[in-house]
């Protein structure tokens, strides 16, 4: 039986002491000591689906791109429509490479007014994956310099994800006005003298918020939210099962340099203008796949039995011929059954297609399924 490797050498987030005090089982994740769970993954998963769960996602990379041509500069690196973002609006996109592969996926917000800190120009806030952030920031720093833009990495803020159907009411009581945010909108708030950037967003498939808070106030804010009976802490384990059920990609597993946004089923994140104009890294491949289709597709997989299929399991067609591989898989607590995502040759991607997943030499029956696996609770 494998046990987790120790987090001793890992960096600590501003909430480290709170995690330990609350019984978090600390593991090393992308170089950070973070809790994989507190009470149990299923209980924490249900907490986010039914009530409100608080996650520490301070390991993620937070930065700003500042300069008059910030949107134009970032658009050279991502296929998403950044210039079209209104003030305080955010969007999901990908940093692509010249082959159309995905260097990382990220959220981009257009800041405005007080929050931009630069009245004369433009400022974008980005949040990138922890495991990619050093590479991303080095890459962005170099690429943006040519556009007279600067990258300002924020090392002094924690990031909390506050997710679930009760999150809005609890946050509104603590920070009046927060519930006025629309889905994928952010704004600047103040709490006990500290500036908070709050957005209505998250990665669980539920309504919820992400809160960038100065490290000095992070624990106090977490404790204030945890004072509500509706709220409990949740760890990385639940974060993973929630995003899997929500059909959301995990970088390094479901998407990476070998997958394009089109293959990954992320074409919805490529705006109409960008499709027409191109002008981003990998546009040749990506626009060709948008027009002519990709040879393989990311799909959802529902298993018929109770045994889960994990990352790496081979996907075969009804005749037993290999057609792809699982990239994420496990038990879906809300679905109540094992679910997975993976890539298959395009001809096998239609929902309902019978497939098998090879687990420990056995062919487990499964079907291609629509994503997400759950009905999202986003407040639009």
Partner 1 sequence: MPTTYYSEDHEWLRVDGATGTVGITDHAQEQLGDVVFVELPEIGRTVLKGDDMAVVESVKAASEIYAPAGGEVIETNGALEDNPAAVNEDAEGDGWFVRLKLADPAELEDLMDAEAYAAFVDSQS
Stretch that binds partner 1, among 34-42, 94-102, 266-274, 280-288 (CB under 8 A): 34-42
Cα 277 to Cα 198: distance, rounded to the nearest angstrom: 32
Nearer to partner 1, 22 or 150 (CB): 22
Binding residue (CB under 8 A) for partner 1 from 5, 182, 295, 306: 306
DSSP string, 180-193: GPPTTBEEEEEETT
Q: How far is the CB of 201 from partner 1 (least distance, A)?
A: 24
Nearer to partner 1, 151 or 313 (CB): 313
**Residues 328, 376: Cα–Cα separation, whole Å:** 19
How many residues touch partner 1 (CB under 8 A)?
21
Minimum separation from the CB atom of position 312 to partner 1 (A): 11
- Can you tell me which of 308, 324, 342, 377 binds partner 1, judged by CB under 8 A? 308
Minimum distance from residue 18 beta carbon to partner 1 (Å): 21
Q: In this structure, is the dihedral angle defined by the CA atoms of residues 213, 215, 221 and 223, taken in order, positive or negative?
A: positive
* 159 close to 212: Cβ distance less than 8 angstroms: yes
- The answer to whether 37 contacts partner 1 (rule: CB under 8 A) is yes
339 to 378: interface string for partner 1, x by CB under 8 A: ---------------------x------------------
Q: By CB under 8 A, is residue 307 in contact with partner 1?
A: yes
Minimum distance of partner 1 from residue 329's CB (angstroms): 10
User: Which is nearer to partner 1, 80 or 332 (by Cβ)?
Assistant: 332
Rg over alpha carbons for the chain, rounded to the nearest Å, is 21
Tell me if 3 contacts partner 1 by CB under 8 A: yes
CB 88 within 8 A of CB 197: no
Of 94, 58, 59, 54, whose CA–CA distance to 74 is shortest? 94
CA-wise closest residue to 299 among 258, 352, 335, 251: 352
Q: Considering the rule CB under 8 A, would residue 205 count as an interface residue with partner 1?
A: no
Q: By CB under 8 A, name the one of 10, 33, 36, 48 that touches partner 1.
A: 36
Distances (CA, A) of 50 to 166, 168, 231, 247, 294: 8, 13, 10, 18, 37
Write out the H or E segment, with its range, that includes residue 275: helix 272-277
Given 67, 101, 265, 338, the residue binding partner 1 (CB under 8 A): 338
Longest Cα–Cα distance in the chain: 64
Q: Are 262 and 96 in contact (CB under 8 A)?
A: no
Residues 237-256 that bind partner 1 (CB under 8 A): 237, 241
109: three-class secondary structure by DSSP = strand
- Which of residues 310 and 325 has its CB atom nearest to partner 1 in the complex? 310
Among 5, 17, 40, 113, binds partner 1 (CB under 8 A): 40
Q: Classify burial at 292, counting beta carbons within 10 Å of its beta carbon; exposed 0-12, middle 13-18, buried 19 or more.
A: exposed
Is residue 188 part of the contact set for partner 1 (CB under 8 A)?
no
Q: Does the protein bind partner 1 through residue 190 (CB under 8 A)?
A: no
Question: What is the distance between the alpha carbons of residues 237 and 375, in angstroms, rounded to a whole number?
Answer: 20
Residue 328 found at the interface with partner 1 (CB under 8 A): no
- Nearer Cβ to partner 1 (144/238): 238
Which residues in this chain contact partner 1 in the complex, by CB under 8 A?
1-4, 36-37, 40-42, 45, 237, 241, 306-308, 310, 330-331, 333, 338, 360
């Amino acid at each position: 039986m494998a046990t987790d490797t120790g987090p001793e050498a890992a960096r600590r987030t501003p909430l480290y002491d709170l995690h330990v005090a609350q019984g978090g089982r600390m593991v090393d994740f992308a170089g950070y000591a973070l809790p994989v769970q507190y009470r149990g993954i299923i209980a924490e998963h249900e907490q986010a689906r039914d009530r409100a769960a608080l996650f520490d996602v301070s390991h993620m990379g937070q930065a700003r791109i500042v300069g008059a041509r910030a949107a134009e500069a970032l658009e050279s690196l991502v296929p998403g429509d950044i210039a079209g973002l209104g003030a305080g609006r955010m969007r999901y996109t990908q940093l692509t490479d010249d082959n159309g592969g995905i260097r990382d996926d990220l959220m981009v917000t257009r800041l405005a007014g007080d929050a931009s800190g630069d009245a004369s120009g433009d400022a974008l806030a980005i949040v990138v994956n922890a495991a990619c952030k050093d590479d991303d920031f080095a890459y962005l720093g170099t690429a943006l310099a040519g556009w007279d833009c600067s990258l300002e990495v924020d090392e002094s803020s924690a990031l909390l994800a506050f997710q679930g159907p009760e999150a809005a009411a609890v946050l509104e009581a603590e920070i009046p006005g927060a519930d006025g945010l629309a889905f994928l909108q952010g704004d600047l708030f103040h709490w006990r003298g500290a500036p908070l950037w709050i957005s209505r967003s998250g990665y669980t498939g539920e309504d919820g918020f992400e809160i960038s808070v100065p490290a000095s106030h992070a624990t106090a804010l977490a404790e204030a939210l945890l004072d509500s009976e509706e709220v409990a802490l949740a760890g990385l384990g639940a974060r993973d099962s929630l995003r899997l059920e929500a059909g959301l990609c995990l970088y390094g597993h479901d998407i990476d340099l070998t997958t394009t946004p089109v293959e990954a089923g992320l074409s919805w994140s490529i705006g109409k203008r960008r499709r027409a104009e191109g002008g981003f890294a990998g546009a040749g491949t990506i626009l060709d796949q948008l027009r002519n289709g990709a040879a393989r597709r990311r799909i959802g997989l529902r298993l018929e039995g109770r045994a889960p299929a994990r990352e790496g399991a081979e996907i075969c067609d009804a005749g037993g011929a290999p057609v792809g591989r699982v990239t994420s898989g496990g038990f879906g607590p809300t679905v109540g059954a094992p679910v997975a995502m993976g890539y298959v040759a395009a001809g096998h991607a239609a929902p309902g297609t019978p497939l098998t997943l090879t687990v420990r030499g056995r062919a487990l029956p499964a079907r291609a399924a629509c994503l997400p696996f759950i009905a999202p609770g986003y407040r639009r």
